[in-house]
Copies of this chain bind each other. A is one copy, B any other.
Amino acid sequence: MAHQSYVLKVSCPDRIGIVSRVSTFLASKQCMIKEANHHADAILGKFFMRNEISDMQMSPEEFETEFKTIADEFEMQWSLSPRIQKKRVIIMVSKQDHCLYDLLYRWKSGEMDYEIPCVISNHLDLKSLVEWHGIPYVHIPVTPDNKPQAFAEVVKWVEHYEADTIVLARYMQIIPPELCEKYPGQIINIHHSFLPSFIGAKPYHQAFERGVKLIGATCHYVTQDLDAGPIIEQEVRRVTHSESAEEMVVLGKDVEKNALARGLKFHLEDRVLLSGNKTIVFA
């Protein structure tokens, strides 16, 4: 495990000396800091830090033992993630394929560095595409009657594959509250509007009705409040009077896949820290 690259994420009450103690600790262990980001939230009085360490010469267990003193002293919430150990991301889809296609490409090309242990869908439409990529396709139909069992099966697969992230790539079912609670900061959704505008169903049709001149998409963590979780990334594009609601749906596909890909990339590289219902993104 030695000589590897790690990301250390820290959040704690703000005070003098945090960077000093952490960086001195890292230097004493011969850790080279490849990239560092700080954020002090003056309103909350909190400090957030991300250090990307190259060439660490101790095991995560040793690190934890030795870092614990500092972490306790500064009341830190912290995590250490090895870059070499790719995140395991289960993608959930319904019938729409644009986000899935895009995520599969970015995975296959190595442009984004993660594993897809399986794709879960309530439909069979995208089975062939997924399997061509050599990825198992798990079909879990969802009906008004079987929702609890269906999502229990989802949990079973998440546990089976030891997934740490679930991406809802235009999965059209509402996630039950228990799941949202079970995986905080681990379920990522792409909503097809510029939130908080046009929450809920058919956002492009809402946008068309209102006559907006830009349409957008929002990549956010899922919480129990529908479309109201912490926003990771947003994108927009210009539209005009000449686009129908249906044409906006098509144009929006590019916006959605770009916002999702960017948001997921930040998540995969441990660049996102949660601060209440907001995110700090060390892009």
Contact = CB atoms under 8 A, between A and B. Distances in A.
Interface of A: 16-17, 19-21, 23-24, 26-28, 30-40, 42-43, 97-98, 101-102, 105, 109, 111, 132, 194-198, 210-214, 216, 230-236, 240-242, 244, 250, 253-254, 258, 275, 277-281, 283
A211 B197 CA distance: 13
Nearest to A29: B16
Contacts of A109: 97-98
Copy count, this protein chain = 4
Contact of A212 (B195, B250, B281): B195
A28 to B, nearest CB: 8
A137 to B, nearest CB: 15
Nearest to A236: B236
Nearest to A273: B241
A34 B40 contact: yes
A254 B250 contact: no
A214 B194 contact: yes
A233 B213 contact: yes
Contacts of A17: 27
A38 to B, nearest CB: 5
B231 A210 contact: yes
A251 B241 CA distance: 23
B241 A279 contact: yes
A20 B16 contact: no
Nearest to A128: B132
A59 to B, nearest CB: 19
Contact of A16 (B27, B216, B250): B27
Contact of A20 (B20, B197, B254): B20
A75 B25 CA distance: 22
A214 B236 contact: yes
Contact of A19 (B23, B197, B210, B233): B23
Given A212-B231, A283-B240, A105 B98 contact: yes
10 closest cross-chain pairs (CB), A and B? A211-B278, A20-B27, A20-B23, A17-B27, A19-B23, A241-B280, A20-B24, A213-B234, A197-B197, A36-B38
